[in-house]
Chains A and B, each alone.
Chain A
Amino acid sequence: MSWLQYLHPPMLTRRTLRVWQRNRNVFVKTFRVNFLPPLLEPLLYLLSLGYGLGVFVTQINGVSYPRFIAPALLAISIMNAGFFETTYASYVRMYFQKTFDAIIATPLSIEEVITGEILWGATRSVINASIMLPVLIAFGVVDLPISFVIIPFAFLAGFLFASIGMCFTALTPNIDTLNLPTFLFITPMFLFSGTFFPLSILPMPIQVIATAVLPLTHVVKITRMITLSQVTPAILVSLAWIIIVAAVLFVLAVNLMKRRLIV
């Protein structure tokens, strides 16, 4: 036995969607609260960074600063929605509410529960992107109609971040230690993934590391190519990176959770 045992493909049935439906029902119940953050976030960032800092920055690679950061704001929101859904929110359901225990007493398996949670995390990313996009459109900082492609792409990127989040949830000893991946992984990514300044101004080794291991780098690359209508074949490299890493981490997350919960 080795790390390979954590790459067992999960056995899933259609019942997986029942978990997704459960989370959707809760979301709909509390819609007014959930609606605000993705609506306010781009407004605040666009105003402070785009139009505040933007007075000094004016242009990056021939693009106005608000137009430069707009796709990054989408990518960050996609990341946060997926990651925080399967870390803090899933942990609360798993540990405090015992929701997973209640569900696995029914015909659903733990693999289906975890997969349903990750699918829901990806859905949250889609919801966030869909709420943010009209705001960015209203400011005229994203190209149309190509930018609507971001919405289906948000599901893939959200699936990646939700899988990453679920891996941390499977490993964290308690809810406080979930702060570690947040500060050591999410926050650096938020700042150093070509979000608010181009990666190319960083030293080469850091550029290499960011491209190799920081998922947000690839997500920002893609969203920026889309919103600026500058799609090049490089988009395929980033897409492939996201698909492969998402697939591996999804399977890993399910198996790590099985190890944690099946005793």
Chain B
Amino acid sequence: MGDVIVAEDLEKRFGDFVAVNRVTFSVREGEVFGFLGPNGAGKTTTMRMIQCVSPKTSGRLEVFGMDVNTHPADIKCLIGVVPQETNLDPDFSVHENLMVYSRYFDIPPRTALETIGSLLDFVQLSERRDTSIEKLSGGMKRRLILARALINNPRLLILDEPTVGLDPQARHLIWDRLRALRSRGNTIVLTTHYMEEAAQLCDRIVIMDQGRILELGRPQDLVQKHAGVDIVEADNKPEVLACLGRMGAKYDVAGERVQVFTEKAREVTAALLQECSPIEVVARPAGLEDVFLKLTGRRLKE
């Protein structure tokens, strides 16, 4: 399988501020590739460079083997974009939005009508065909934007925070649709700061912070590498810390809790309960959020 996106030492500066700091990654055909990172990590800026709407400062960036600087229109013909902001056209109804959008891709009206019919089915909006945009719920708007992004049958779909602000039902519906697209062979690149979203959908992820890529890999591999198999959490009390010290266990302090990254959750839990009771102990499988917080730190990103 070829690479759909190749970025090498890709950099974006706004004046003195380095938004994306010489990142290197490639996205393979047919995979779901996720960008994780706190606010301001440079995810959206990277997406905008891939979409050919924000020019790179330096480095190499190719989409489908074409340079983003020299072939923006050719690249944009092949991609579909779900932006972070809802920018549906409020002057039009659901159906008109898709119809007008199809014209930007020079899709003949007859083909567009057919495509729009099946896309509205796909995102479950067929009954809202003639509804005006302002009467749609947040979830419906996001689904319509997804349909709009698919109007040109794109080989690459780029989604910037596709489910931000949605309730669980709406979010699961979007996830389900994205899985369906993946199984059809579409390449999907998405940004998110929902760990569950990344773990559920992505074949590979990068974790970004302050414009740099901190890690790149399969979600389960990153969890294994940085957080181990399981995590045992207990109250952050001097007695507990002393106990853990005596056991020779490695731990992290996270606010009111201590976390032990371990492959022997049962033994650690038993030992903690035996030697330092009475305390609250929770054992759980390690997840992507643990990796994320470990790599990007716990302080607020503002």
Contacts and interface: CB of A to CB of B under 8 A. Distances in A.
Given A25-B100, A262-B54, A105 B76 contact: yes
Interface stretch (A106-114, A175-183, A213-221, A224-232): A106-114
Contact of A105 (B51, B100, B103, B106): B51
B159 to A, nearest CB: 12
A102 B98 CA distance: 12
A99 B87 contact: yes
A26 B91 contact: yes
Contact of A108 (B14, B87, B104): B104
Given A97-B90, A102-B87, A107 B76 contact: yes
Contacts of B152: 106
B105 A99 contact: no
A98 interface: yes
A99 B105 CA distance: 16
Interface in A60-114: 97-99, 101-109
A29 B91 contact: yes
Interface stretch (B77-85, B208-216, B280-288): B77-85
Contact of B104 (A98, A103, A263): A103
B67 interface: no
Given A29-B91, A101-B87, A106 B100 contact: no
Which bracket fits the contact residues of A? 20 to 34
B117 interface: no
A105 B81 CA distance: 7
B291 to A, nearest CB: 32
Top 6 A-B pairs ranked by shortest CB distance?
A: A98-B87, A106-B104, A105-B81, A102-B87, A107-B73, A26-B91
Contact of A106 (B14, B55, B91, B101): B101
Given A29-B91, A105-B76, A109-B72, 17 more contacts: A22-B103, A97-B87, A97-B91, A98-B85, A98-B87, A99-B89, A101-B85, A102-B101, A105-B81, A106-B101, A106-B152, A107-B74, A107-B77, A107-B104, A107-B106, A262-B54, A263-B54
Interface of B: 14, 51, 53-55, 72-74, 76-77, 81, 83, 85, 87-92, 96, 100-101, 103-106, 152
B90 A106 contact: no
A250 to B, nearest CB: 21
A21 interface: yes
Nearest to B100: A22
21 contacts: A13-B73, A15-B106, A22-B89, A22-B100, A22-B103, A25-B100, A29-B92, A97-B91, A98-B85, A98-B87, A102-B87, A104-B53, A105-B53, A105-B81, A105-B83, A106-B101, A106-B105, A107-B73, A107-B104, A109-B72, A109-B73
